[in-house]
Structure 1
């Protein structure tokens, strides 16, 4: 509560300072604040058009001077420009563009109100649309930052992991693991929904989504009460491309490169009130090579030390696929049905060739072992969604009911072959079979209604139930020689079946209002009650896990200032339940010197988040500053101990306390109608402590963590486009050591042809860096480990896209809802007025 009070005080102080500055600017006679404002409506319907793009054009040079995006009620304000003659241009998909008559601005005519501006709908052939200039890649809303991935042509041939690396406040490591402001405890949704595969492994799920199918990425740092309480870092919503089109079309996209290729086909058909979509995407990775080098020192109780050195070359092959079928039907003006089926597959094979393990005692070699390791990481998943939405004559009033069934089948096996000095003689083999299944059944009801016929006061409430069942059927086998029969180990610790059932029932209420003209408030409460049962089939072990309930508050407050500026303050409480990755009791001993095991008795984490931000716009430049504080108790942290034969054993406990103090800055700069830059820098100071008193196991660490990215886009003549991108993630502070820094970069050139129906391009990635080296460090009172991971990540690729068919545009009359499962720890749209 003390920190919340401090946040509110800081918000009021910053608000007072900025208001005073604004008042001083306004009252300064020699420097009046120039403004052009108005409201955008749909012609003949008298309904506001939110989010329309507004540009201020110099009437003499035809260059863009300023820009803005209309609010929820269609209002816009252009500011921060000087004397001159200008034109206003307005554009929004599905409507004819608008261009005003010349407007002369001077010290005697510095504020112009254009009143109501009405846009007419249009039907156009999609391939005839011509887009000039560069659309903004970033949008800042009251509770989220939006990255418009569809405007980034360098992403052709990539997947969702490549898109995530370009998004402010997000960091992605070389394995595809995503974190937000240093926290990996985030929710990843796809069109507002979460499938079982996302809950099981976010990194692998992202590899299944082609970049070309992503419209935008929404980073929600302060989720409202309608979102599940899970996700201490925040929510990431991946919005795929949808349309409100009449006609039929087929889009082909492909890419072929040195280390990977992909092929995607997407078709859509819309006739009258019914629409169908059918899509498929396949991605293959090959020629992916690297190495790892690991040196660890284990200190014994008598002070002696054991040195263990490991080295291996690595290889990987992978195939990913995603296929979907969608259907929607408009029953009548107020009732709509949607349904979809999505199938996915992942086939990853990894090899460690010549895994050499040398053990030294007091600098004397005592053993040398040579192995080969083969790991299969396979899965397939299915998601089935159904949604019914009812709207009303009363604007913004809506009821919806949604259902989701999701299942993900997992296979994570390995075979470890032990050689006798050379690769010609196998002494023994160990095999681990680990078959897992994640199932989810979800039902959700949501109701939205304005209060007292006001569009500025919105009440939302709803209920939800999620039933999950996770199983892990694991077994260990041993065999002699290269062709001996595998025999199962008769030990319940190595061969067993684990079942984990979780039921989450939730209810929420949220209230949104505008007040004092420029203030917006959104607050809410959510209550979640969780029951858990866990069972081991082949043993009498009982996991007695108590049920628990949590109350989750959220508060968002914003104030619009002059010249398009905004300040925001937010507080929310979050819960993070452990996923199967942390719970699975299967012993992972692919590397026999470093084994790990999950803990089925883990409790959820609890986090308080505080945030204060300021955004501004000036002469084609958007800048956002955000400062935050995050306090987590019961944090799930790894616990490492030394077992017999000096094996490092890792499991997980709720023993961590984390605090993070951070600042994020990002900017989008339009230098001309052909050249734009955007970039961001994120930094935070982390303090971690596992809360243990025993000096043998006590751990604490702190330090600064930085990351950044920059993106440049230049439009060349004759439909050529040049784009470049670079990303750097600094050293990561962990409880027991650090994870190394790394950086990536790319350059793309594309050419559009045949009336922009097709494009072909060439891309190069990490072309000056044949090998990446990431250095990691682990430090405990008894363990000192330094490891290096090497990856040969240089890549060259050719991209090709082509679109067949013709579609006409019809403006959307409704928004769609769906199930949103946001709640496992694992690897409402906002605007400046409402939400």
Structure 2
């Protein structure tokens, strides 16, 4: 029945959509009698710089004899148009938002005509004749997204994907690597349009181990269309990776070395013929990330009035990743692409914590705690993609299959000793944690052009199982043997199954474009516990009546509406609306406490329900010869929003310290309103300036365990980038970022400023480039915050990674510096790949 549904839907809607366009074409062109035999005008529209298809580009046919009579059509997913018209004389133009219009005046059309391939150029500041696409950063505006071509960002040399995202407007990455969009951390991360093992199955940790120079562009999708998964109340970040499409064998080698230790090598290789395309990216990295933290805590109860913690972190990361794919062109109209991705990493983290306890301003005792953790990750992914252009009219069928598996093994040794007034062992613990994830994805998408409009329907299913096996052994000093802590040892299985049907319809009338979509999603969330833990005691700890073994089912409709009005050729206004969902991840609902220390634990909440949001976005874009301005006002209302709160557990350690628990809860509402603006200014050939600003205000309200966690917050962040081309082929880039103060229900955070510098020089006949990058030049990227509750206060400072200096060298073989990045087909890493995401 599920297979028949898309076909039945198309057949049912076909008469409705097909009546009006045909009638309008018969009356609207003003050429000849109404019963004249129509002719067909066909062609293809591509981006001139990247050769990627431009969907929803407009063919305009204006009658020369009667200029008020205008007809035409729009392009499909592959950039093809196929429009009927009466024979006559026309002024022909091809228009696309943010691109220069292509014109063919006074064309006499007496028979069906193929206009061939038409390449449109971005309407940006004029560049020197020898300048190439890969050198600049540009923005493209689509009906449902903004596309930022990263260009040759010098600060990406030796950096990770996470570092590169911090240079994208609307995006912020905090000192711990958490990614947020417009200040909201519930953002969906996709790689080439799909969930991927590269992104760590929802976690962003893997992005800190992959090189930034693998990125070709980033799509910021704040008003996602119906083909995208409804997950992520903030929106979607779709990372498109590079893949060379030039005929023959070509590629590049990129090496880096830095201090603190930051070394790596990445090799890209591509072999392309007229019948197939083989591509591979392989990389190895070794990074050291020293950091530090300081906490000054005061208590209203317990054995101590004040506790000061001074922490030193040292994190070693070794990682290997490879991606091998084959794209085979079955016919001129169809292709199949298979790829295998494998990633393994080995991490060793060491944390030293000096802890001073005070009673009445005098030191009562001092302890020294060490935590040594090893972590081994292994992920692999198999993908199969089939594309078939069913006919010359633009019908298209895409099928996508994907299987991903990941396993993460952690082992930690935690030892804490008294140093003042006596030296003795307090605790020695061994923590074992194994997390296994399996995910299946099935996707089918069908596109049907209908005259001037386009209809799309599809199905997407994701089936994910996450198993966490957690065990804690504590040393029994009386027996000198390790005992299993049954209260903290458990196995938790979390299952998330999502089935979705979606449809969308797009059209354009004159200067008005729209895209309407509707998505039906069924979400099943299941949790199962295997443990000796007393569930009655667990419910008492949680403070709510919950079922630790649960099976929840949600059925929801998620509409999307996107509109664009072209005020002028280089100016437009956009309006978007969408409904989204935030599903809790496995560790958010796992009720067994896991500890970052003896005194701080995190406990999931099985009673946590998905959050839903309704978001509106009003945007404005204006282009001048040398200046591009983008801006928008947005509003989002989220119900049952997640909030992590801290509270007393009523328990103390053996030496009398209050144990504090963090737990996620569903608050009642979260209202967010904001304003953002971006500017790209190229006043001369040797200077480029980019800046962006985002201001937002949000308020939350809700109660938990009798405490009001409502809060109001106003914050902002801004970034500025300048790139100067110096003599002797030397480039100099400066990136500055500032995030203003913020707060939630319990914590106030101070502003953060960071500054990056980078230099590069082309050598070896422009086949090679050497670079130097200084990240966080002032060593100021630190999170400083103050937390206050009824039972304690905490003033803290945290630095994830100290200032980093990196030297890099890239060598390109059989590959021009400008990189003809895209061509035929829709293999992984191309702009076409994101179109299959549902």
TM-score tier, shorter chain, comes to 0.7 to 0.9
Q: Larger RCO: Structure 1 or Structure 2 (Cα < 8 Å, ≥ 6 residues apart)?
A: 1
| CA drift at 1:766 | 2.8
Question: 1:657·1:691 contact (CA, 8 Å) conserved in 2?
Answer: no
Gaps of 5+ in 1: 1-44, 55-68, 77-110, 122-128, 823-827
Tell me the residue number matched to 1:177.
178
Tell me the residue number matched to 1:420.
418
Q: Within 2, Cα distance between the matches of 1:285 and 1:567?
A: 45
Q: Within 2, Cα distance between the matches of 1:404 and 1:773?
A: 39
From 266, 269, 277, the counterpart of 1:267: 269
Q: Within 2, Cα distance between the matches of 1:50 and 1:616?
A: 22
Question: 2:681·2:690 contact (CA, 8 Å) conserved in 1?
Answer: yes
Q: Which moved further from structure 2: 292-301 or 173-182?
A: 292-301
Question: 1:447·1:461 contact (CA, 8 Å) conserved in 2?
Answer: yes
What's the secondary structure of 2:394's corresponding residue? Answer: coil
Tell me the residue number matched to 1:528.
521
Q: Within 1, Cα distance between the matches of 2:296 and 2:728?
A: 55
Q: Within 1, Cα distance between the matches of 2:815 and 2:419?
A: 66
| CA drift at 1:136 | 4.0
Question: 1:246·1:810 contact (CA, 8 Å) conserved in 2?
Answer: no
Q: Within 1, Cα distance between the matches of 2:820 and 2:293?
A: 53
Q: Within 1, Cα distance between the matches of 2:140 and 2:441?
A: 31
| CA drift at 1:586 | 4.5
What's the secondary structure of 1:545's corresponding residue? Answer: strand
| CA drift at 1:130 | 5.0
Q: Is 2:140 aligned against 1:131? A: no
Deviation track 1:410-447 (CA, whole Å, cap 9, x = no partner) reads 23443210223279864541121111111101111110
Spell out the pairing of 1:193-592 with structure 2 (5 A cutoff). Answer: 193-196=194-197, 198=199, 200=201, 202-259=203-260, 260-286=262-288, 288-300=289-301, 306-353=305-352, 355-363=353-361, 365-421=363-419, 426=425, 428-451=427-450, 454=451, 456-479=452-475, 486-489=482-485, 491=486, 493-515=487-509, 517-539=510-532, 542-592=548-598
Tell me the residue number matched to 2:70.
none
From 715, 720, 726, the counterpart of 1:705: 715
From 814, 818, 823, the counterpart of 1:805: 814
Question: 1:169·1:682 contact (CA, 8 Å) conserved in 2?
Answer: yes
Deviation track 1:755-806 (CA, whole Å, cap 9, x = no partner) reads 3211112222333x24644211222222322111145622222110002236
Tell me the residue number matched to 1:162.
163
Residues 406 and 334 of structure 1, relative CA distance in 2, 3 Å threshold = same
Q: CA RMSD in A?
A: 3.2
Q: Within 2, Cα distance between the matches of 1:112 and 1:815?
A: 26
Q: Is 2:682 aligned against 1:676? A: no
| CA drift at 1:52 | 2.9
Tell me the residue number matched to 1:746.
756
Question: 2:717·2:740 contact (CA, 8 Å) conserved in 1?
Answer: yes
Deviation track 1:435-494 (CA, whole Å, cap 9, x = no partner) reads 11111011111101101xx2x4111111122111110101110126799553322x2x31
Deviation track 1:355-411 (CA, whole Å, cap 9, x = no partner) reads 233333454555432211223344221111001111123343210111110111123
What's the secondary structure of 1:610's corresponding residue? Answer: strand
Question: 1:52·1:74 contact (CA, 8 Å) conserved in 2?
Answer: no
Question: 1:49·1:73 contact (CA, 8 Å) conserved in 2?
Answer: no
Spell out the pairing of 1:639-788 with structure 2 (5 A cutoff). Answer: 639-643=645-649, 644-645=651-652, 646-692=658-704, 694=706, 697-767=707-777, 769-770=778-779, 772-788=781-797
What's the secondary structure of 1:192's corresponding residue? Answer: coil
Question: 1:373·1:590 contact (CA, 8 Å) conserved in 2?
Answer: no
What's the secondary structure of 2:205's corresponding residue? Answer: helix
What's the secondary structure of 2:199's corresponding residue? Answer: helix
Give the TM-score normalised by structure 2: 0.79
What's the secondary structure of 1:163's corresponding residue? Answer: helix
Gaps of 5+ in 2: 1-40, 62-100, 108-114, 120-128, 536-547, 653-657
Residues 264 and 468 of structure 1, relative CA distance in 2, 3 Å threshold = same
Q: How many residues align?
A: 713
Q: Within 1, Cα distance between the matches of 2:705 and 2:480?
A: 49
What's the secondary structure of 1:781's corresponding residue? Answer: coil
What's the secondary structure of 1:267's corresponding residue? Answer: strand
Give the TM-score normalised by structure 1: 0.80
| CA drift at 1:717 | 3.1
| CA drift at 1:71 | 7.3
Q: Which moved further from structure 2: 757-766 or 611-620?
A: 757-766
What's the secondary structure of 1:272's corresponding residue? Answer: coil
Deviation track 1:508-550 (CA, whole Å, cap 9, x = no partner) reads 11111112x0011111111111223221123485522321111
Q: Which moved further from structure 2: 212-221 or 499-508?
A: 499-508
